[in-house]
Amino acid sequence: MSSLISQKEYSKVLRRSTYITLITVLFLISIKAVAFWFTGSIVILSTLADSFFDFVITATNFFLVRISLREETDQHRFGFGKYEALSAFIEAMFIFSVSIFILFLSVQRMISPETIPYTNIALTVMIISIIVNFFLVRYQSNIIKQTESIAAKAEHTHYFQDLLTNFAVIIAIILVGNFNLTLADPIFAAAISFYMIYSSVGIFRKSIDVLIDKEVDDKLKEEIKNIVMSHPKVDGFHDFKTRQSGS
């Protein structure tokens, strides 16, 4: 959690961000489902599945982050901050799982390529998706500046990836619809899945660092030491250990 805002304000900002994200993702799921119904495109299906898991992930984040903001108790003296890292870990698992699923379907479509009908509907839907994702990513960037939330950073990474993915989907649709390059559909879908796998690894590593109490970086440790030693009544200290909880 950022030191610039109170825990109450932190909770309020993240809650509002979650509501806005959930509504946005539900809208994207709806229009992408329509596009897949008409086209049967594997690359459209991949971005539809991705949006569906976005909804599940964001809802999971909402509940776990709320738990992480609870006050410490007699049984949990360090609070519940690690639940936020846990939500980021779960998000990474979903991203990785979706990526493998897309890759599997892409290989199948490479073996038996198909054309994409109603490309005009698909293009319209993807252009709308790009516009909506762009404003969502900008909004989440502001949330990260306010809160420094790990879960918010994980979501921002994923939705920025969605923005790039939508551009790739448009290129694939144009290649198939205008130039009859049917392999473009599964090839672009496979490329998207590899990028998603790469993104999920970074989120995995950061969330695991918090969950297993990895030491903070040397620069921050040095700052902490300087603050402690600046106190006139402190002559020195030893066995200095650090850990991170939440953001």
pLDDT digits (tens, 9 = 90+) for 6-48: 666 766 777 788 888 899 999 999 999 999 999 888 888 888 8
Average pLDDT, the chain: 78
pTM of the model: 0.66
Q: What is the pLDDT of residue 131?
A: 94
Q: What is the pLDDT of residue 242?
A: 61
Q: What is the pLDDT of residue 125?
A: 94
pLDDT at 123 exceeding the cut of 90:
yes
pLDDT at 126 exceeding the cut of 80:
yes
pLDDT confidence of 227, banded at 50, 70, 90? Answer: confident
The residue among 140 and 209 whose pLDDT is bigger is: 140
Q: Highest mean pLDDT: which of 56-60, 150-154, 163-167, 212-216?
A: 163-167
Which of 102-111, 136-145, 180-189, 201-210 has the least mean pLDDT?
A: 201-210
Q: What is the pLDDT of residue 28?
A: 94
CB atoms inside a 10 Å sphere around CB 217: 11
Q: What is the pLDDT of residue 79?
A: 54
**Mean pLDDT within 142-170:** 78
Q: How far apart are CA 44 and CA 169, in angstroms?
A: 7
pLDDT digits (tens, 9 = 90+) for 63-93: 766 666 666 666 655 555 676 677 778 778 8
